[in-house]
Structure 1
């Protein structure tokens, strides 16, 4: 361990910042050059550091383990550059996986940290790639993730797969043929911006088809108020009328079988048709006033 204290000409704070943000050294090239100069640990040194971390929670031991494996993260992250994501971001996520591996490392199992850590590094980078490669998450199940990271490599020249090729890939990866076909469609597609670019106001964007003003909050609220007025509000307004006025209004306007005529109601009550009309007009006026008051209560609420 005699070489560890001079592993890199950087202050601990600088180095910690570089681990969490590979671009902190000025450029990704500077970071890679710096971590490649860090010395590797022997098996004995690695075991000793692992025991110190496990038994004493020695954070300086964890730091030494992490530093000696930063070049591994760079190497693994380089394998995922084909997804269009920044190398520094991939390294940063891989460093998180490395730190998780160091925390879980058991020096007594006889396995070098590099073998154990590579799985954690890849897991973190996989999650980052899947989460950020597209706006819409493209792989969620275990089979989809396996296809996501293997299908592009297995497609001949990037061309569409023939049915027999779909079957061969499904057997090779131990997934269903329909999963292969679905992932091929997902990988062949692309993101589409909902809105038009700010400098292209004349462009007709997909959001124009998605907008539905009838579902705006004010329209929905207005419809609910109208529904309430036509049900509960009307029933309460009718309760303010006397029995004869209620019957006349309901017979004339609130029946599904066609409204009764003034003469029919006049004969029923033994009064003139003109008198029925007057009662009806007064009842409707009273209903209108009651409903207007109910609507005003809605607005105030």
Structure 2
């Protein structure tokens, strides 16, 4: 453990909140697991509180990604905290997944909803292309900058599959709403916002990038599950996605068919799932 950073004198609510959140200790995997089990089994409110407070800095880090949308960061953080609490409430400690891996999508969801409700239609835009731009333009600009590629409206429009003039218009809307993580917290203190939001675990950025595709896949698979009925739904739940899947022989016995017929039924569902994931539903 390094020397704990002394806190500057803070008057702004966001500055004060960041400083306070940074004081809660991070949890080891075992500590988190024990607390999660206490809440999962016994509804231990103190355990839930520790799970939430230990992850507050991660909510701040995620909220900063949406700083360019011009809304108050403290409001984005608070919405993200609601998502974090929702995640803690439904988190299953027996799934061998860290809480932040599971919670990041709840956090993002609540922040997205807040942005949509509080940005005027003039700022967001009403077309599908405008909404896509609203959430993805800065992400694409950052990606190009990472590889030292000169950005142009045409290049951004091609990457986002929208019209070039729409890129130009959205850039104008968002141009004056930048907020730097390197901005100093106060006039006299040289500490920056990011100093108090440091990812001490070194894993959050990795989580945010690696789990996004997995999360989207899970959503699609849930939609596919909802499209199934009867025997197909039973096989999908008990054979394909179960933590303790039934054997083909058990499926055959259950439905009164041969093991080979059970395999054929399973393969048909797998093929349907593949088509569903590749298609537009």
Shorter-chain TM band: 0.3 to 0.5
Relative contact order higher in (CA < 8 Å, ≥ 6 apart): 2
- Which protein is bigger by CA-based radius of gyration? 1
